[in-house]
């Protein structure tokens, strides 16, 4: 009798069903699927990244980032580890698919029966919260020979992991939008170029030579095919003509079977249009690459890695408007996303993340547990977390800007203190509060802000009509477009990109005026947390350091 080979548990791989989930039945054993393995980096990669990240507190002229090719060679996966994965796949009747040394990922394909056996788990079909998904419970395991080599396995579980952070103004109001009207409009909305003037974005720049990556997540059917989320060029052409700009170069990139599939989910389509139109109106000469992937742990991480390690388009900034409460996510997912964000910082790529639209609760009222929550992935310390404001102004003059909080109907900016990620050194003097019984010293969210209130929202064009949207979904691409302008100027001066901006931002003295401090309001959306997070002088857990003064921030970066 053959000896049973020893197996080890993959740390952080434990998974629980969604709350209220019921088992529909077993999966079809012969059905095929693909999973993503995340491998350890090369020896010495941690020291290289540490040295690179220490530069983030310095002006870009004093920084030197690794190229994507250098990163792959020094911080990517070790080819000897890949040979072990080949052996593992062969022993379990699995096929090795796409391998990305830089992202340290390998795709394995096989039947659900073989995949379940390979990773020591039983796969079942679950139904919960209006979705049916393939899932598992408990931990994953591997042969002991792979201990430390494989850090995570994504894709066995196909539940949705994120929602778009946008709020739509009532159709009755939005339908009256006229692109030719001067604004602040009668409905309170703005054209994005108007916001650029109000926020003093630098003039004479258009993003030429830069690429803005936008991450979008597809709904999928039971077989994993994308069924929703996308844009149409006719909508984009109409929008940009309406604001007096040429339509930017927009390309859709499919990841893990993701695709540009507009039409079946108006909410998600609105998200995509909002992201492209806001970023494109700020940096119309930049290329915009939209990376579509399934709304799963594997899809979300793979999309970010695809953008980050794209050696053709080479994005210098990534915009993410999707998220969910950080609590309840498996540790290997949290760690994997954080590792990708750290890689971005090492490469000099800025990642802008929406901070959420359900205030300090970060959950719909129907499912809220009466506790504050932080939104993920904006809570990752390497993210530029983007909160929201309510804005009034005209021309180049802001007359009022306060924390966005319109209650249950109109939403409120996310913000709070992470329960997962420890407080980064750049927030040591930011007076981030300590909350909860464990007195955990967590990372404060957001870092910066911009207009997000749908009642003072953004004019967009989607599904053949003019509409108005708000949400922190709009703030991430607003900042991404601004950073593309920064990078254009910095590149012209042969200076490194803005990259991981947080340490430098938090070092700026108040008199520098690189951000507009928001000192009025709170983000207690349901009024049940006794105004836990309030705006005040300096950083706060509603709008961070404040909204941008683009020209002054560019000066601080050395541009």
Catalytic site positions: 271, 275, 473
Q: CA geometry: angle at 55 spanning 57 and 511, to 5°? A: 20
For residues 91 and 60, what is the distance between their CA atoms, to the nearest angstrom? Answer: 49
Distance CA 463, CA 260 (A): 14
DSSP letters along 290-318, please?
Answer: EEEEESSHHHHHHHHHHHHT-TTT--SEE
CA dihedral defined by 339, 341, 343, 348, rounded to 10 degrees? Answer: -170
Q: How far is CA 446 from CA 304, 382, 388, 427, in A?
A: 20, 12, 9, 11
Q: What angle do CA 477, 289, 40 make, to 5 degrees?
A: 95
Other C-beta atoms lying within 10 Å of the C-beta of residue 534: 15
CB atoms within 10 A of CB 266: 14
DSSP single-letter state for residue 184: S
Query: How far apart are the C-alpha atoms of 98 and 107, rounded to whole Å?
Result: 5
C-alpha distances in angstroms, 19 versus 54, 123, 129, 376, 418? 41, 17, 8, 19, 22
Name 352's bridge partners.
319, 384
Q: Evaluate whether 357 touches 321 at the Cβ level (below 8 Å).
A: no
| Burial per residue of 220-230, b for 16 or more beta-carbon CB atoms within 10 angstroms, e otherwise | beeebebebbb
Separation between Cα atoms, residue 116 and residue 141, nearest integer Å:
10
Cα separation, 210 vs 554, in Å, equals 16
Cα angle, residue 398 at apex, residues 458 and 176 outer, rounded to 5°? 30
Q: Retrieve residue 520's tokens.
A: 């009025």
Long-range pairs for 538-541 at CB < 8 Å and ≥24 separation?
A: 538/430, 538/431, 538/510, 539/427, 539/430, 539/431, 539/432, 539/444, 539/506, 540/415, 541/360, 541/415, 541/416, 541/417, 541/432, 541/433, 541/444, 541/445, 541/446
């Amino acid at each position: 009798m053959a000896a049973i080979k020893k197996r080890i548990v993959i740390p952080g791989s434990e998974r629980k069903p969604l709350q209220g989930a019921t088992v529909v039945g077993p999966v079809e054993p012969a059905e095929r699927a693909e999973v993503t393995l995340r491998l350890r980096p090369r020896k010495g990669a941690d020291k290289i990244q540490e040295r690179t990240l220490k530069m983030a507190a310095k002006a870009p002229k004093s920084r030197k980032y690794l190229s994507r090719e250098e990163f792959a060679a020094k911080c990517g996966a070790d080819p000897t580890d890949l040979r072990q994965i080949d052996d593992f796949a062969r022993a379990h009747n699995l096929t090795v698919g796409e391998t990305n040394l830089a992202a340290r990922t390998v795709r394995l394909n096989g039947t659900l029966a073989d995949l379940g056996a390979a990773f020591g788990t039983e796969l079942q079909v679950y139904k919960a919260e209006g979705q049916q998904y393939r899932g598992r419970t408990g931990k994953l395991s591997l042969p002991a020979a792979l201990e430390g080599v494989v850090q995570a396995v994504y894709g066995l579980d196909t539940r949705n992991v994120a929602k778009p952070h946008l709020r739509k103004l009532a159709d009755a109001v939005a339908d009256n939008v006229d692109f030719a009207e001067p604004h602040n409009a009668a409905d309170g909305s703005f054209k994005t170029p108007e916001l650029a003037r109000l926020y003093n974005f630098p003039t004479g720049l258009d993003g030429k030579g830069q690429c803005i990556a936008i991450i979008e997540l597809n709904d999928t059917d039971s077989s994993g095919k994308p069924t929703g989320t996308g844009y149409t060029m006719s909508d984009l052409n109409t929008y940009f003509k309406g604001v007096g700009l040429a339509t930017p170069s927009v390309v859709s990139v499919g990841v893990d079977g993701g695709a540009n599939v507009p039409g079946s989910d108006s909410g998600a389509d609105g998200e995509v249009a909002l992201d492209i139109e806001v970023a494109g109106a700020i940096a119309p000469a930049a290329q915009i690459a939209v990376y579509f992937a399934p709304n799963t742990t594997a899809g979300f991480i793979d999309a970010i890695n695809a953008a980050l390690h794209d050696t053709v388009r080479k994005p210098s900034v990534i915009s993410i408007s999707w998220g969910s409460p950080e609590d309840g996510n498996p540790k290997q997912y949290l760690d994997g996303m954080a590792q990708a964000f750290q890689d971005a910082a090492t490469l000099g790529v800025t990642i802008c993340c929406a901070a959420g639209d359900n205030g300090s609760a970060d959950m719909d009222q129907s499912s809220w547990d009466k506790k504050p929550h932080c939104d993920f992935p904006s809570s990752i310390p390497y993210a530029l977390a983007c909160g929201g404001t309510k804005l009034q102004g005209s021309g180049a003059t802001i007359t009022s800007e306060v924390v966005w909080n319109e209650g249950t109907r109109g939403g409120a900016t996310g913000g709070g203190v992470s329960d997962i990620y420890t407080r980064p050194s750049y927030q040591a003097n930011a007076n981030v509060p300590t909350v909860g019984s464990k007195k955990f010293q967590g990372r404060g969210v957001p870092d910066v802000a911009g207009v997000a209130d749908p009642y003072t929202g953004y004019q967009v064009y989607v599904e053949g009509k003019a509409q108005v949207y708000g949400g922190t979904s709009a703030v991430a691409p607003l900042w991404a477009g601004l950073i593309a302008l920064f990078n254009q100027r910095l590149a012209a001066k042969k200076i490194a990109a803005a990259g991981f901006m947080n340490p430098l931002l938090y070092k700026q003295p108040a008199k520098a005026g690189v951000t507009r401090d928001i000192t009025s309001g709170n983000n207690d959306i349901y009024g049940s947390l006794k105004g836990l997070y309030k705006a005040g002088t300096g950083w706060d857990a509603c709008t961070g350091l404040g909204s941008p003064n683009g020209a002054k921030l560019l000066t601080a970066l050395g541009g």
